[in-house]
Structure 1
Amino acid sequence: MQNKPFLPPLETFYQWESKNPDKVWLTQPLGNDQWVDFTWADVGQQARRLANALQQLGLKRGDRVGLYGANSAYWIMADMAIMMAGGCSVPIYASMPEEKIRYVVDHSEMSFLFADNSSEMKLDALMEAFGNSLQIVSLAEQGGHHQFSGLVEQYEALAGSPVRERDELWSISYTSGTTGQPKGVMHTFETMPYSAERISELAETNEDSVFFSYLPLAHIAERCVVELNSIYSGGHVYFNESKETFVRDLQKSRPTFFFAVPRIWHNLKNGIVAQMGEEKWKALMQDKDAARAAGELILGAMGLERVSYAFSGSAPIAPADLEAWMALGMPVYEGFGQSETMSGLGNRPDAIKLGSIGKPMSEDAEMKVSEEGELLLRAQGNMVGYYKDPEKTAETIVDGWIRTGDKVRVDEDGFVFITGRVKEIFKTAKGKYVAPAPIEQRFGTLHCLEQLCLVGRGMPQTILLIVLNEQARAQDKTEVEAELLAKLDSVNGELEAHERISHIIVCRDVWSIENDLLTHTLKIKRDEVEAKMRAQIDLCEAGTESAIVWE
């Protein structure tokens, strides 16, 4: 892959604005299956007007500006305006509760906040909570101190095409805060954007590429592989209106590049299996030609038939899910990145190995494995540190290397496999260490599962906590138990004695962001799940006879 000279995002945007002023960049749903298009010239004009408004309202160079709302063309136009005006963007997850929003607002010393009514806190509540300490700009037609549309109408466009120094802060991305308060990951105009440009080269996105934006733009992955990728490729972005319109919007956009986290890939596959029936699906997976023929129809019905590069990241994905999508004719390429660095690793068409996170995505991204087996990464795309936290920064960045927190192994071909999180590996009562991720992945062929979490710290044996999917919850319990027991026996036969699972606990409720059992990026909060199921775990440890325990 030939690396070209890097340009920061503003300069790249201006190139597309000059080259393709009338080409549509962003397509926004308005409701009732109505859409509005914004060309590169439209975005340039609105962003400059908004940038001038921010400066006239008091924004100073380097001031932090929050972005709190649903994915939309307005979110991205506000982001472009913040860059043009000299600010530093601070995305906030739409699902963050008030106490964590307050922490981010106070910790970042935010002066402006763009928001809409789609998030956990509505505009009225935001005004009441933060209206005296910062200026709130509504991305909707009402609410806040100012409205996006009103500012665009009121102010003239900022003159020229302002650029930023490459080492200026571009954004502070706060982590979801699974352990304590969120950490503010600092990126400049030449760190995370540099990674995005390399990802665009890896995925071979271009002016004809189409993106579908539905995962939170507050998450660095969506921002990198969709927003910034579209800037570097010159492609077209469609936005998802809501969960209810996901299928309709996906069919409308028919993307050529599609990014999803493992849980979404798994659930989409399970939806296909549910419609087709378990036996028919199993037979299909045994017939390569039939699977590819069926895949054309299935992918076409979903709106995924044009995808040339499908990507999975944020957490490990079950190899069985990758095999299924490959059989249907749409290989899903698993990769690795995190808020601290998206200059990670990835599989690609000419170098893929299922179950691995691939190899370094560009020639100038370095990796090594520490003596403890931890993956270390060094690249231009690495963060510059944690905001106002030099101690944590010094722990994470050592001699320019990011300590990722993931334990890995590297095979003879150079492919990297995650064996677990350093902090997730636990010691049983027998004094033996267990890495949960590889064991959990062995259950990936079970179509009845929606979520799972292996626990065992200080326990005689490990215990698997699971959530059944909607179809399995409607099945007869005896059938589900038989399927679970068969898989349990099969997996235990492949494990060492100290790793073997004594019980499977079937949890009643789905783990979600709302019940504080998932992070904003859909990762499982293991400690919280274990604490919630403590009574059932104690019952298992006391020696209940049944290997399957229902909450």
Structure 2
Amino acid sequence: MNTELTNALATVTLVDAFYQYEQTRPDDIFLRQPVGDTFIDFSWAETGRQARILATYLQSLDLPPGSPVGLISKNCAHWIIADLAIMISGHVSVPFYATLTADQLRQVMQHSGCPVLFVGKLDDWPATKAGVPTDVIGIQFPEYGPIDPDLVQWNDILDRYRPMTGTFRPAPDDLFTIIYTSGTTGNPKGVMMQYRAMAEAIEKTRPMLRHDLPETRFFSYLPLCHIAERNLVEATCLMTGGTIYFAETLDSFARNLAAARPTHFLAVPRIWTKFQLGILAKMPQKKLDLLLRIPIVSGLVKKKIREGLGLNEAKLILTGAAPMPTSLIRWFRALGITIQEAYGMTENLGAVSMMPPNQVKDGTVGKLYPGVEVKIDPVTGEIAMRSPWNMLGYYREPELTAQTLRDGWLYTGDVGEVDADGFLKITGRVKEMYKTAKGEYVAPAQIEFGFSDNNLIEQICVAGQHLPQPVALVVLSELGRSVNREQVTESLSATMNTLNPRLHAYERVKKVVVVRDTWTVDNNMLTPTMKTKRNVVEAHYGPHLEHWYERDEVVVWE
């Protein structure tokens, strides 16, 4: 059944796909929301019923057509239903990160001008609520927390309104969504995407994203407001008629993943590292290496590990959003888990390149998708790309749009190169490059990547704009915190001594500083997508850098 839309035109929108499965497979399960050891299931028909009723309510508000409608929640079945309701009511979906503080939410709410906000599964809605303008109509999801009497209740809407009659079909050039970036270097920007862009991207990447499977299952836990999850989970499921499973809590993550047995699975590098540490906690590396050398036993061990992770039926396993250490990719590959690295950004629906499963070239982010063109700026090395799914622009930001979109090319801000075999390699970020006290330009990302094989390190930020040589600030991993200081010092020194000879003289790391506090979203050191806010980290530790630099020891402890 998943091939029903394969031969359709590229302008089949997500709304068209939803209507297709709502009509042809009404009783099949579309969404599975875990509650303890059971599930609340939503068939395609039930999803359609609730989305259509919510669409009726939205239309009753007499908003101008194409109004931005906000959505803030952790991943859950109601997130998808709300997103569909916004689409089929003729409005524009504007999802926000569930981890936003009140001030951060206020900024994007005011910038987007959303007159309505869906409020869902959140850790502390009373604290976040302060960021919502008083004239905004709030609609609260059921099931996920105490009822807020100031919000319109989802179930009350279901009781009082009838499903929207007819079918609203957006035009390909209509605005589909405004996706706010995570704000690594400043205020989040609202990326405008048309329905056509998503349709084109899906059409060109069907073979790589395995639309050919007879049954597709997805596990949704990374933020759905981020383009990677929105693309791989929501959009791909809608286009294949699959089923989406959700994670209920952090504690139930492993159990929920095992129950889902996804055919498609995406994890950021930090998740893969946690998986690795979990496996090694049960089976130390020496024992694992020994068992993998025994032919029959090796196969049994690999199968057990895949089943333990819930990935025994996965056909597409991806990583993205941040560089993945080559050693970690190879480690999982030795277990029979082939992780394909993908590269892209919000501004191009996350679809620039992906590693071919049968033509792996470690150290790169794979080959370009069909329909993508890339050129490298000869002076800065910046990657510019062109595709049918580039953004329309930044919402209400014409100057920023003009800086990023030039003559049909999207300037990514990433520095990289394309090799003779057509593989793309990312070597840094234009804005992150800085000039040392000696006047030489340093690309921190490449130096940081050189430390990625050391599993005692959880987070790293190379700094030192006003120092003669760079300094590496590191946060220890759980494993790093479990061993004594002398072992950590020895390990970090060895990594630095191995890395430095491979770098230019002006790039060589002078000190490694072990800092006390973990960088988190809550302390504003990380974006909601777990990317380091380099400017915030550097500003926080900046006053201490010169003192640490002058210390005698190579590894300094804060």
| Structure 1 length-normalised TM | 0.94
Deviates further, 310-319 or 140-149? 140-149
What displacement does 1:19 show? 2.0
Question: Is residue 17 from structure 1 mapped to residue 22 from structure 2 by the alignment?
Answer: yes
Question: Is residue 538 from structure 1 mapped to residue 542 from structure 2 by the alignment?
Answer: no
The code of the aligned residue for 1:480 comes to V
Using the alignment, how far apart are the partners of 1:534 and 1:283 within structure 2?
46
Is the 2:455–2:479 Cα contact (8 Å) retained in structure 1? no
Using the alignment, how far apart are the partners of 1:216 and 1:168 within structure 2?
24
Question: Is residue 432 from structure 1 mapped to residue 475 from structure 2 by the alignment?
Answer: no
Using the alignment, how far apart are the partners of 1:411 and 1:286 within structure 2?
35
Q: 1:192 aligns with which of 192, 198, 201?
A: 198
What displacement does 1:177 show? 2.1
What displacement does 1:315 show? 1.4
What displacement does 1:121 show? 3.5
Is the 1:64–1:109 Cα contact (8 Å) retained in structure 2? yes
What displacement does 1:18 show? 1.9
Q: 2:160 aligns with which of 144, 154, 161?
A: 154
- Structure 2 SS opposite 1:533: helix
What displacement does 1:487 show? 1.5
Question: Is residue 33 from structure 1 mapped to residue 37 from structure 2 by the alignment?
Answer: yes
Match of 2:240 in 1: 233
Question: Is residue 74 from structure 1 mapped to residue 78 from structure 2 by the alignment?
Answer: yes
Match of 1:138 in 2: 140
The code of the aligned residue for 2:90 comes to G
Using the alignment, how far apart are the partners of 1:389 and 1:518 within structure 2?
24
Is the 1:28–1:36 Cα contact (8 Å) retained in structure 2? yes
Q: Could you list the runs of 4 or more consecutive aligned residues of structure 1 that deviate by over 6 angstroms after TM superposition?
A: 284-290
Question: Is residue 399 from structure 1 mapped to residue 407 from structure 2 by the alignment?
Answer: yes
What displacement does 1:168 show? 1.3
Match of 2:523 in 1: 515
Is the 1:407–1:418 Cα contact (8 Å) retained in structure 2? yes
Match of 1:113 in 2: 117
What displacement does 1:4 show? 5.7
Q: 2:176 aligns with which of 163, 170, 177?
A: 170
Aligned ranges 1:286-435 → 2 under 5 Å: 293-342=300-349, 343-362=351-370, 364-371=371-378, 372-435=380-443
The code of the aligned residue for 1:537 comes to L
The code of the aligned residue for 1:19 comes to T
Structure 1 residues 415 and 3 mapped into 2: Cα distance closer, same or farther (>3 Å)?
farther
Deviations 1:152-181 (CA, angstroms, capped at 9, x unpaired): 222111112211111111111111223332
| Structure 2 length-normalised TM | 0.93
Match of 1:102 in 2: 106
Is the 1:197–1:228 Cα contact (8 Å) retained in structure 2? no
What displacement does 1:117 show? 4.8
- Structure 2 SS opposite 1:190: helix
Match of 1:183 in 2: 189
Q: 1:270 aligns with which of 270, 277, 293?
A: 277
Using the alignment, how far apart are the partners of 2:331 and 2:294 within structure 1?
12
Using the alignment, how far apart are the partners of 2:408 and 2:82 within structure 1?
32
What displacement does 1:120 show? 4.8
Is the 1:94–1:120 Cα contact (8 Å) retained in structure 2? no
Is the 1:198–1:361 Cα contact (8 Å) retained in structure 2? yes
Is the 1:193–1:228 Cα contact (8 Å) retained in structure 2? no
Deviates further, 211-220 or 472-481? 472-481
What displacement does 1:506 show? 0.8
The code of the aligned residue for 1:381 comes to W
Using the alignment, how far apart are the partners of 1:411 and 1:136 within structure 2?
51
The code of the aligned residue for 1:301 comes to G
Structure 1 residues 382 and 119 mapped into 2: Cα distance closer, same or farther (>3 Å)?
farther
Match of 1:467 in 2: 475
Using the alignment, how far apart are the partners of 1:435 and 1:92 within structure 2?
31
User: What percentage of residue pairs aligned between the two structures are identical?
Assistant: 38
Question: Is residue 54 from structure 1 mapped to residue 58 from structure 2 by the alignment?
Answer: yes
What displacement does 1:112 show? 0.6
Structure 1 residues 258 and 498 mapped into 2: Cα distance closer, same or farther (>3 Å)?
same
What displacement does 1:283 show? 5.7
What displacement does 1:244 show? 1.5
Structure 1 residues 73 and 421 mapped into 2: Cα distance closer, same or farther (>3 Å)?
same
Using the alignment, how far apart are the partners of 1:351 and 1:396 within structure 2?
32
Deviates further, 260-269 or 68-77? 260-269
The code of the aligned residue for 1:136 comes to G
- Structure 2 SS opposite 1:316: coil
Using the alignment, how far apart are the partners of 1:397 and 1:454 within structure 2?
30
What displacement does 1:196 show? 3.9
The code of the aligned residue for 1:391 comes to E
Question: Is residue 457 from structure 1 mapped to residue 465 from structure 2 by the alignment?
Answer: yes
Unaligned runs of 5+ in 2: 1-5
What displacement does 1:287 show? 8.0
Structure 1 residues 422 and 4 mapped into 2: Cα distance closer, same or farther (>3 Å)?
farther
Q: 2:48 aligns with which of 39, 44, 68?
A: 44
Using the alignment, how far apart are the partners of 1:476 and 1:47 within structure 2?
55
Using the alignment, how far apart are the partners of 2:289 and 2:320 within structure 1?
26
- Structure 1 SS opposite 2:108: helix
Structure 1 residues 119 and 400 mapped into 2: Cα distance closer, same or farther (>3 Å)?
farther
- Structure 2 SS opposite 1:151: helix
- Structure 2 SS opposite 1:539: helix
Is the 1:319–1:441 Cα contact (8 Å) retained in structure 2? no
Deviates further, 267-276 or 521-530? 267-276
Structure 1 residues 244 and 103 mapped into 2: Cα distance closer, same or farther (>3 Å)?
same
Structure 1 residues 29 and 510 mapped into 2: Cα distance closer, same or farther (>3 Å)?
same
